[in-house]
Amino acid sequence: MNRLKVTLPGLELSNPIMPASGCFGFGKEFAGLYDLSQLGAIMIKATTREMRFGNPTPRVAETAAGMLNAIGLQNPGLDKVMTQELPYLEQFDVPIIANVAGTTTEDYAEVARAISTAPNVKALEINISCPNVKEGGITFGTNPKIAQALTEAVKAVSAVPVYIKLSPNVTDITEIAKAVEAGGADGLTMINTLLGMRLDAQTGKPVLANRTGGLSGPSIKPVALRMVYDVRKQTDLPIIGMGGVSTLDDVIDFLSVGADAVAVGTANFVNPFICPELIEELPGKLDELGIKTVQELTGRSHQYELANHRA
């Protein structure tokens, strides 16, 4: 028995750890470092209908225990992802979760329909939460009605299960979660980056050319944990949790608040070998905690709800 195995809609994961979208390109760079078949899955970089160059540079800035990025969904476009990037990844025995982005509902639907037919794409991650593009992205993810309608449109054309990537840049993330569930989402991935800024103290000039960017890294983990915790109480949809995962304890924490699997983002930049290292160390951690399988960890924090203590 594989005690790390996790089964989610469309996804048979040999372990619950995968690189997060935007932090792993289309896998080629990391394929030179280790065997990608070790990973639970790969969430590839966002794909849009047309090639996108992205935002002006500088596009990244370091902040306290985190980083800001304003890449702007740079990618080679649907055709090249279908003909070059995805076929390359077929040599690895690993499910691909394709991140889909767009500026209109039609864009999302077209990319979703096409990319979901690729043989190694086992699920879609719909990016309604990118904070770094002027049109599309986060505008779809901050209004429950629009989020629900987009989910319905993508579900209608996708050949594989659809996960919606939620934005933390909302007043109540559970509202959006419930809306996309009503729209037929098969799962949730959360959270995307938190909108932030950094200034040059001498001049007051924003460091990023885009002025604002998405905050990621260890600094956002408490926010992400709280949001997964809150959403887990509102829905039974599977959740792939992310936001500052850098250590094995972070993996355990995300599972404990209710995530079924965990994605590693910024930590891939700090240590490109982080994913296989965490996967290798996970069984030892389970032993240490006296736990047989990762599923036993999922949601265990909820037993400490205040209401239960009062009862």
Active site members: 130
- Position 103, amino acid: T
We find the least distance from the C-beta atom of residue 260 to another protein, in angstroms, to be 25
Q: Does 58 help bind another protein (rule: CB under 8 A)?
A: yes
Q: Does 146 help bind another protein (rule: CB under 8 A)?
A: no
Nearest to another protein of 180, 275 (CB atom):
275
Choices 103-111, 114-122, 156-164, 264-272; region in contact with another protein by CB under 8 A: 264-272
**Would you say 279 and 4 are in contact if contact means Cβ atoms under 8 Å apart?**
yes
**Would you say 225 and 239 are in contact if contact means Cβ atoms under 8 Å apart?**
no
Angstrom CA distances, 158 to 149, 161, 295, stand at 14, 7, 28
Determine whether the annotation assigns residue 28 to a binding site.
no
Choices 21-29, 171-179, 223-231, 294-302; region in contact with another protein by CB under 8 A: 21-29
Q: Does 84 help bind another protein (rule: CB under 8 A)?
A: no
Q: Count Cβ atoms within 10 A of the Cβ of residue 208 and give its class: 0-12 exposed, 13-18 middle, 19 or more buried.
A: buried
Question: What does the block give as tokens for 85?
Answer: 């990037």
Cα(302)–Cα(311) distance, integer angstroms? 15
Of the candidates 67, 124, 81, 117, the residue with the CA atom closest to the CA atom of residue 243: 67
We find the least distance from the C-beta atom of residue 207 to another protein, in angstroms, to be 9
Determine whether the annotation assigns residue 292 to a binding site.
no
- Position 1, amino acid: M
Q: Single out the residue of 7, 12, 56, 83 in contact with another protein (rule: CB under 8 A).
A: 56
Total length of the chain: 311
Cα(272)–Cα(258) distance, integer angstroms? 26
Q: Does 272 help bind another protein (rule: CB under 8 A)?
A: yes
Q: Single out the residue of 205, 270, 288, 305 in contact with another protein (rule: CB under 8 A).
A: 270
Annotated binding site: 21, 45-46, 69-73, 99, 127, 165, 191-193, 217, 243-244, 265-266
* Binding residues for another protein (CB under 8 A): 22-25, 28-30, 32-33, 45, 51, 53-54, 56-62, 64-67, 69, 71, 74, 76, 217-219, 246, 266, 268-273
